[in-house]
Amino acid sequence: MKKENNSDKISKHKFYFETPLYDVIKGDELNDKDIFGGDVDAYNSVRDHETTYRIETSPISDSIPSDYCGYFKVTLICKRNGKDKLRFFIYSDDEIIIKIGQLPSLVDIQFAKIDKKYNKFLSKELLKEFKRAIELATHNVGIGSFVYLRRIFENLIYDAFDEHKQDINITKKDFFKKRIEEKINVLKNYLPSQLIEMKSIYAILSKGIHELDEQTCLNYFSALKLSIELILDQKIMLDIKNKKDKKVKRQIQVINKKMSE
C-alpha cells in the first residue's frame, strides 16, 4: 500500500518496536531516513519505564567477508543508564531495508509492557488474547490478529454491562440481541469516552476478518492496537480518579465529624 503523507510513513520507533522481521520496507516509506543513527523514544521493558535509546550502527562486513555487504549490526542503548541494550541485524541497500533479527524479540518487548500495564485491568484470558493478537501480527498473520482485537473490544462492553446491569433498564437477553452500536449507546454512561468515540473500530475489525486480505489487516493493526490501548489507558485513569475521589470523601467526612464535635 502506497504511503501518502508523513503520518503514514514508518518512524524509527515503528521500525524497531513494531515492524515484524522480514517486512520489506521501501526507502520512501521511511519517515526518518537516518534509521541507523540518532535517538528513539521507547519503553524499557527491563526497568519498566519510558526512555530514550541511542542508536549505534556498524557494518557487519567490517569484520567478515564482503559477501555480507549491506548487513548491519544495530544496538539501541538506554540513555538513562547506558547498560540496557537492544540488538538488531538489518539489511539495507539503496531501495529497501529489512529487519532480519533482534534480541529481545518483538513479542517479548511488547508482552513485557502489556503485562505490567494492563494485568490489573484485563482478565487473565483477555490479557492472553491481547498477547495472541500481537504475536500473530508479528508473524504476519493479520486476519487472525483482528479476531483477538475484536474479542477484546466486545468484552470491554460486556464487562461494563455485567458491572452496571442493576442500573440499566434492560434484560441481558435483550441487550445481547442488540447490534454493537446499540449496545454502546445503552452503556454510554458507563463506558470510557475513548471507546464511544472510537466505536467505529469494531466495524473495521469485522470487515478485516470477513473481507480484507492479510497485508491490509497488518497495515491497519498498529492503529487498531493503539486504539485498544487508549481505551484501556482511560480505564486505568478513571480507576485512579475514582479511588482518589473515594479517599478524599472519606477524609472530608472525618474532618467534618471532628469539626462538629
Rounded to an integer, what distance in angstroms lies between the CA atom of residue 26 and that of residue 35? 12
pLDDT at site 75: 96
pTM: predicted TM-score of the whole model, two decimal places? 0.71
3-state secondary structure of 38: coil
- Check pLDDT > 60 for residue 193: yes
Using CA atoms, how far residue 236 sits from 162, 239, 242, in Å, is 18, 5, 10
pLDDT at site 2: 41
Structure letter (DSSP) for residue 11: P
pLDDT at site 82: 86
pLDDT at site 105: 87
- Check pLDDT > 50 for residue 3: no
- Residue 104: asked if its preceding bond is cis (omega within 30°), the reply is yes
- Check pLDDT > 80 for residue 25: yes
The stretch 82-110 carries a mean pLDDT of 90
- Reported as a single tens digit per residue, the pLDDT across 154-188 is 999 999 999 899 888 899 999 999 999 999 999 99
The stretch 106-125 carries a mean pLDDT of 84
- Reported as a single tens digit per residue, the pLDDT across 206-239 is 999 999 999 999 989 988 998 999 999 888 888 8
**H/E stretch holding 97:** strand 96-103
Q: Which three cell numbers stand for residue 209?
A: 476478518
Residue 96: pLDDT band with limits 50, 70, 90: very high
The stretch 66-87 carries a mean pLDDT of 89
